[in-house]
């Protein structure tokens, strides 16, 4: 019971940190454009991960055949997904950023079926449909202007690419440290983004960067949101099973929405909550379906042993 409570706390804390991330991005992106922000965030995260890796004496060796997967993870998840996520948050709201990206677990079902050949059940299909309807309700019906609609579309791309990356992560051998994999993927993202960012840096106002709020936001995004939350999430999942851990993902949109309302003065409309409820129902169906599959597998194994 104690291990379950500690694991639950880790997962709630990690998800809450990610929920707060959208409010921080909304503030910082007003001064630092999305592409430059992602680059700076990863530079800080890379330094933090190197320190963590050295202190914990990680084994940095990666077998050559797995570099392709890590490269794909870096490009799809760390570059495309994060850039579109922060662009979408800039064009829309922190609430929308938190809620739409919460469709990630449902989209993972499709990619897991295509890439990992996992069985696509009726319940999984319904869950993805509900999540999709929820996204349409939030993005296309809620009297949004063109900027918000483009932001919503960008956030959908972010959710899809993060789901694809999450499935590709499952192809990484379990004996690799997540700290090491994350560090290499972060390094690749920095290298890929650098040629695009360097020519744009002179256009930024140095006086704006000296604002303590902006530097505080950058440190939050790099150290807390990228490094610490990832480690808390993985540690929590080690203490609980993945299906149970998925429930705690929903602290992210809840915290993101509440902070967007409290800090940024964003409004919460009825259509927003209807779309959010559909997304929540869809992803909960995915979680319960996985739990049923685990129960059936355990029952079949027991019968085989007896």
Query: What's the whole-number mean pLDDT along residues 234-260?
Result: 64
Distance CA 111, CA 132 (A): 15
Report how far residue 11's alpha carbon sits from residue 246's, in angstroms, rounded to the nearest whole number. 9
H helices present in the chain, as ranges: 2-28, 34-55, 67-73, 82-91, 94-100, 104-115, 122-136, 146-169, 178-197, 206-209, 212-219, 229-239, 242-246, 251-263, 270-305
Does residue 5 register a pLDDT over 60?
A: yes
Q: What is the dihedral angle through the alpha carbons of 82, 234, 109, 100, rounded to the nearest 10 degrees?
A: -40
The residue among 72 and 165 whose pLDDT is bigger is: 72
Which residues, 6+ apart, have CB-to-CB distance to 89 below 8 Å? 22, 25, 26, 29, 96, 97, 151, 155
Closest CA to 96 of 19, 206, 28: 19
Q: Distance (Å, rounded) from C-alpha 19 to C-alpha 94?
A: 9
What pLDDT, on a 0 to 100 scale, did the predictor assign at position 118? 67
- Predicted TM-score (pTM) of this structure: 0.73
Assess whether pLDDT exceeds 50 at residue 75. Answer: yes
CA distance 152 to 43: 27
Pick the more confident residue, 288 or 63: 63
Tokens of 78: 């760390």
pLDDT band at 301 (very low <50, low <70, confident <90, very high): very low
* Phi (first) and psi of residue 56, to 5 degrees: -90, 0
Q: How far apart are CA 245 and CA 3, in angstroms?
A: 13
Would you tell me the crossing angle of helices 82-91 and 2-28 to the nearest 10 degrees?
Answer: 60
């Amino acid at each position: 019971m104690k291990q379950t409570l500690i694991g639950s706390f880790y997962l709630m804390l990690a998800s809450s940190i990610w929920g707060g991330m959208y409010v921080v991005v909304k503030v910082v992106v007003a001064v630092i454009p999305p592409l430059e922000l992602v680059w700076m965030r990863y530079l800080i995260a890379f330094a933090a991960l190197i320190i963590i890796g050295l202190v914990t004496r990680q084994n940095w060796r990666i077998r050559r055949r797995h570099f392709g997967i890590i490269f794909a993870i870096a490009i799809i998840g760390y570059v495309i997904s994060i850039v579109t996520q922060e662009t979408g948050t800039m064009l829309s709201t922190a609430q929308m950023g938190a809620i739409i990206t919460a469709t990630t677990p449902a989209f993972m079902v499709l990619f897991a079926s295509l890439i990992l050949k996992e069985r696509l059940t009726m319940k999984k299909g319904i869950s993805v449909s509900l999540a999709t309807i929820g996204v349409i309700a939030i993005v296309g019906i809620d009297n949004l202007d063109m900027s918000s609609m483009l932001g919503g579309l960008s956030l959908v791309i972010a959710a899809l690419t993060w789901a694809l990356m999450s499935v590709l992560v499952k192809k990484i051998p379990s004996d690799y440290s997540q700290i090491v994999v994350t560090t290499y993927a972060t390094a690749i993202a920095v290298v890929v983004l650098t040629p695009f960012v360097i020519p744009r840096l002179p256009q930024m106002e140095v006086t704006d960067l000296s604002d303590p709020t902006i530097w505080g936001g950058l440190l939050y995004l790099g150290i807390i949101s990228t490094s610490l939350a990832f480690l808390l999430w993985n540690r929590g999942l080690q203490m609980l099973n993945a299906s149970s851990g998925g429930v705690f993902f929903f602290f992210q949109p809840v915290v993101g929405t509440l902070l967007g309302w409290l800090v940024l003065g964003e409004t919460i409309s009825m259509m927003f909550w209807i779309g959010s409820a559909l997304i929540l129902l869809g992803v909960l169906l995915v979680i319960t379906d996985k739990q049923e599959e685990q129960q059936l597998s355990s029952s079949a194994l027991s019968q085989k042993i007896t």
